[in-house]
Structure 1
Amino acid sequence: MLAQAVRLGDEELTSRQQDVLDIALSLLVEVGDKLTMTGVARRARCSKESLYKWFGDRDGLLTAIVQWQAAKVRSVPVGPQRMSKETLQSHLEQFAFDWLKVISGDISVALNRLAITHAGPLSNLGTTVLMNGRFAVGQRLKPLLKAGRGAGLLHFSDEEEAFRTFFGLVIRDVQIRLLLGEELVLSETDVVRDAKRAVEQFVTLYGVR
């Protein structure tokens, strides 16, 4: 699965920065809240000075990690041409597959557990995960939903409500079970099946007959 381009401020991540974020993600799964700039620098074989230059402080690094992880849910290109029912369902299934694959992985589980631990007024990590995770993913899906409505394939008055319904159908209880420690393993076949089923249910609810 290819991640989309992620920008830090006005600059796109370099391949070296992407490698460092992948290493930081793996380390996060291992150590959780004990993640440090020193630990990442040592594992990535780069200087702390480089980390501070690229990402700022630890919060900046965590923000970049969240953005990099969320970018694995690929945006679907929406062109000016009228969309067919088959194209809409195919795009929705791709989106659902990516999302379920990312959210059920060890990295997302570790990241969300860390965010929950640090949610509240004394830390902005919970807000960071919400803004760069769930809300950012929503902004990628909504243009597709609007294109489906514009093509006369979907009917809804509130795109946020439609997105939340899609969210619930795709994720179901998977995320909360993983966060609470259940050893739930989704195979590639499971993810494909669940993504397809979620889209079928969504189209049943919002599709124009």
Structure 2
Amino acid sequence: MTKRQGEVLDAALALLVSDDESLTMTAVARRARCSKETLYKWFGGRDGLLTATVQWQASKVRAVPLDPQTLDRTRLEASLFGFAADWLTVLSGDTSIALNRLAVGHAGSERRDLGAIVLENGPAAMRRRLGQVLEAGRRAGLLAFTDTDQAFSTFFGLTVRDTQIRLLLGDRPAPGPAEIERAARAAARQFFVLFGTSEQAGPDARRTPSGA
């Protein structure tokens, strides 16, 4: 994604969360100060633009590449911590909250395209991205699990907990950087309690979850 394309997608996201009915190629072109021809060339149409905006938002959650030759407990836990911190930061931002509220609002109606796009390019994309990290940890003998999807679901639960649903319902303010860091570190540590191999993961992995 070029810098200019990113600027266009940021404009589309801002338009989407302020009024999803106005997310037309004309409205985005006007807000982003570019031509409709450019938008069609880049994204192919409104569905392509919707998909690209959700992918752009999801791309802010980064999976740090891991070198299998140097991978150890410290590097793997740092990667999981970074992923969890990015994930919580993005989920708790105004854009993601508004985007998910819109997707939920579209469910069960004729306007289901946004919900399907969010599912495929949000949670499903996170699953594919983090799955590669988890598999690297298993191949290195640092993690032990039989089902990658189940391991991902556990990490999701440890990281997100009830934060997203409470934010969507307006039940709590968005967590600040310090709270996000504490939650992300706890998620990575607790994940090793559950899935870390005893000979590689160190003394923390031999605690019970209640003592994590």
Partner of 1:37: 25
Residue 135 of structure 1 pairs with residue 124 of structure 2: yes
| Amino acid corresponding to residue 63 of structure 2 in structure 1 | S
Partner of 2:81: 93
TM-score by length of 2: 0.86
Greater radius of gyration (CA): 2
Partner of 1:9: none
| CA distance in 2 between partners of 1:48 and 1:180 (Å) | 36
| CA distance in 2 between partners of 1:83 and 1:27 (Å) | 42
| CA distance in 2 between partners of 1:37 and 1:182 (Å) | 35
Residue 203 of structure 1 pairs with residue 192 of structure 2: yes
Alpha-carbon RMSD across the aligned residues, in angstroms, is 1.7
CA contact (8 A) 1:41 1:51 kept: yes
| CA distance in 1 between partners of 2:183 and 2:63 (Å) | 19
Partner of 1:26: 14
Partner of 1:5: none
Task: Give the match's secondary structure for 1:81.
Answer: coil
Partner of 2:176: 187
Task: Give the match's secondary structure for 2:19.
Answer: helix
| Amino acid corresponding to residue 67 of structure 2 in structure 1 | G
TM-score by length of 1: 0.87
| CA distance in 2 between partners of 1:50 and 1:58 (Å) | 13
Higher-helix-fraction structure: 2
1:120 deviates by: 4.3
CA contact (8 A) 1:120 1:126 kept: no
Inter-CA distance 106–165: structure 2 relative to 1 (3 Å threshold): same
Would you identify which runs of 4 or more consecutive aligned residues in structure 1 move more than 6 Å? none
Partner of 1:151: 140
| CA distance in 2 between partners of 1:117 and 1:184 (Å) | 21
Superposed CA offset, 1:121-172 (max 9, x none): 7432212111111111111111111121122221111110000000111111
Partner of 2:5: 17
Task: Give the match's secondary structure for 2:4.
Answer: helix
Bigger relative contact order (CA 8 A; separation at least 6): 1
| CA distance in 2 between partners of 1:25 and 1:39 (Å) | 12
1:31 deviates by: 2.1
CA contact (8 A) 1:33 1:114 kept: no
CA contact (8 A) 1:32 1:110 kept: no
| Amino acid corresponding to residue 65 of structure 2 in structure 1 | P
Please identify, of 155-164 and 24-33, the stretch whose mean Cα deviation from structure 2 is larger. 24-33
| Amino acid corresponding to residue 103 of structure 1 in structure 2 | L
Partner of 1:114: 102
